[in-house]
Structure 1
Amino acid sequence: MLDLADLPAGLLFLRDDRVGKRWPVNLPAFRLARYPMTRGDLPLTGVSWFDAIALCNQLSMDAGLPLAYTIEGEQVDWDQSSPGYRLPTEAEWQYACTAGTPGYRYGPLDDIAWYAENSGGHAHPVGLRTPNAWGLHDMLGNVWEWCWDLYDPDTYGPYRIFRGGGFADEERALGSTVRRRSHPTFAIEDLGFRVAQSVID
């Protein structure tokens, strides 16, 4: 059974320092898992973006929900009217990370995150660090998390965004606005995901 928090509608600003852009996003209410997906107590890692998409659909099937994604080879379409499980958008992830505030972090880093200075070089069971004000754990540190969005299709083609920083990263990589990207087939030991769900009237 997935443990999802109900998050309120809100406004945030995304930015891309690489090109000097900043833009507003109005978000409707949505739901987000309190923890990254796990294998046992540890974050589920070594999953590509395509793996994460397929697992979201499997979780929807297991729960008897309509699928959020239609997958045909490497073409993935998101039905935004579906209540099925899915990846958060980049905007949803950032908004959820700091619980709707404009802060860069939601607490002292050693209290909230596993990172290079305190992780011992490996992932840790989820939920051991202090959550943010909305009860979300490990939004920063432990493992990076895939998001739905393309990074910059004109420059990087199919590359997708991941957020949050991981256990091997230095302090500068752990913040609500830090953006990374890779090919959707990319998989590594400090990259996982957490599920979101749209609130359908």
Structure 2
Amino acid sequence: PQGQAPATGGKLKVTKGGGWNSPPRSLRISNRGRLPEDTASDAVGIRCARDAQAEELTVKTPAPPPATEPAPTPATAAAPTPATEAPQAPSPTSSQAQTPPPSASAPQPTPPTTTPAALQEKTLTQVPLTVVHLPGGSFERGCVKGDSWCSADEQPRRAIVLSPFWIGKTEVTVAQFRAFAEATGTAMPEQPSWSGDDYPVVNVTWDEAQAFCRWLSGRLPTEAEWEYAARGGVSGTRYPRGSEITREEANYDGLAGRDQFAKAAPVGSFPANGFGLYDMLGNVWEWCLDWYQEDYYTQSPDRDPQGPEQGQKKVVRGGSFTSDPGRLRLSYRSSLKPSERWLFTGFRCVIPQRP
């Protein structure tokens, strides 16, 4: 009946209202969250409802025990382990509907036209950071037509041609950013207590991320370069291996499931994609060079696009350890103000290929 949830078929349950750890955007009355039904979290509770026509309930209060009855002995079992925080992520734009559960229709994968083998790598001398050479060429950017998960800003899907470039094999780590901070006198952004030297650096603004990359004679990746790199030579799929993604492939959903990470994970903890790049999906959102514009794909150049000339927010891509699977899709776009700092936002660098 109208107004009721689907009886079967869903893998995630709706959550509403935000939690104690939610940013203001998640407290919007219209915001919709989602979690697996077996999730236990210290930021998720319940309230009850019953049909107005239901039979009146009678609440019975148990009588107090006799005064001579001994007080109950506290249980000796260990207290339950605190659950993880409820997942949070950059909010979708106005046109971006909440992604449906994985049972929605999905496109069939198209084999890559070329999948480079044994791509060249090199380690920079300024800081021990490995970059992978991507030969460039043409790829299909955007959401596959007919996929029910598509948002308006992911369309139209079209061929984009890119020049060759080098890109970080992993997200920039805490240790790598600290080396930059010490060498340049830049303030080191505060890192969470669960982080470490081999974790992705977070709480960095767009300007700080770009400054690090420029220190290496590089820059942040354009949005097109990022999607080309993330696809790893695959075309026509939501994720590198098909229409769904598992916790063996990426760190997401804010749950310490089989991946063992309820927060960010050390870089390189999950399998690399077809280009030998790690954590392109999940772990932390990654800053891109471009300003965000919802209809940019309708007017973007076909060769080496770099985004609109101005804007209010910068593109972030890839999802994070707090994200639901829909935000890890290869074509999914989100954005943040350049000055924002978040525990789930990091970056990697591109080194343009010199003539």
Query: 1:144 is matched with which residue?
Result: 285
**SS of residue in 2 equivalent to 1:92:** helix
CA distance in structure 1 between the aligned counterparts of 2:261 and 2:352, rounded to whole angstroms? 36
Contact 2:286 2:346 in 1 (8 A): yes
Contact 1:10 1:100 in 2 (8 A): no
What percent of counterpart residues are identical?
A: 33
In the alignment, what sits opposite 1:90?
A: 223
Find 1:22's aligned residue among 157, 180, 185.
157
Task: Decide which structure has greater strand share.
Answer: 1
Question: What are structure 1's unaligned runs of at least 5 residues?
Answer: 61-83
Deviation at 1:193, TM superposition (A): 0.2
User: Aligned residue for 2:146?
Assistant: none
For residue 161 of structure 2, give the secondary structure of its aligned residue in structure 1. strand
Identify the match of residue 133 of structure 1 among 255, 261, 274: 274
SS in 1 for 2:157: strand
Q: Does 1:99 align with 2:232?
A: yes
**Which residues of structure 2 form unaligned runs of 5+?**
1-127, 144-150, 175-196, 297-309
Q: Whose radius of gyration is greater, 1 or 2? A: 2
Contact kept in structure 2, 1:34 and 1:136, CA below 8 Å:
yes
SS of 1:161's equivalent in the other structure is strand
Query: Quick one: higher RCO (CA 8 Å, sep 6+), 1 or 2?
Result: 1
After TM superposition, give the deviation of residue 132 of structure 1 in Å: 0.6
TM-score where L is the length of structure 1: 0.80
CA contact (8 A) 2:213 2:350 kept: no
Contact 1:140 1:165 in 2 (8 A): yes
Query: 2 CA distance for matches of 1:137 and 1:158?
Result: 29
AA of the residue aligned to 2:276: G
* TM-score after normalising by structure 2: 0.47
Would the alpha carbon gap of residues 125 and 194 (structure 1) be closer, same or farther in structure 2, given more than 3 Å must change? same
Instruction: Provide the secondary structure at the position in 2 that maps to 1:4.
Output: strand
Mapping 1:51-66, distance limit 5 Å: 51-58=208-215, 60=216
What residue is the counterpart of 1:44 in the other structure? 201
Which of 227, 235, 250 lines up with 1:113 in the alignment?
Answer: 250
**Which residues of 2 match residues 158-177 of structure 1 at below 5 A?**
158-177=312-331
Residue identity opposite 2:321 in structure 1: F
Task: Choose the corresponding residue for 1:122, options 263, 266, 287.
Answer: 263
Q: Which amino acid in the other structure matches residue 267 of structure 2?
A: V
1:120 Cα shift? Answer: 4.5
Distance in 1 separating the partners of 2:295 and 2:231: 30
**2:335 is matched by which residue type in structure 1?**
R
- By how many angstroms is 1:154 displaced? 9.2
Q: Which has the higher helix share?
A: 1
SS at match of 2:341: coil
Give, in whole Å, the separation in 2 of the partners of 1:136 and 1:113: 12
Cα shift at 1:158? 2.5
1:60-103 CA-to-partner distances (Å, cap 9, x unmatched) read: 2xxxxxxxxxxxxxxxxxxxxxxx21111111110111212213
Q: Shift in Å at residue 53 of structure 1? A: 1.0
Aligned residue for 2:247, secondary structure, equals helix
User: Do the aligned partners of 1:153 and 1:159 also contact (CA within 8 Å) in 2?
Assistant: no
2:170 to 21, 28, 35: 35
Deviation at 1:137, TM superposition (A): 0.5
Query: 2:139 matched to which residue of 1?
Result: 12
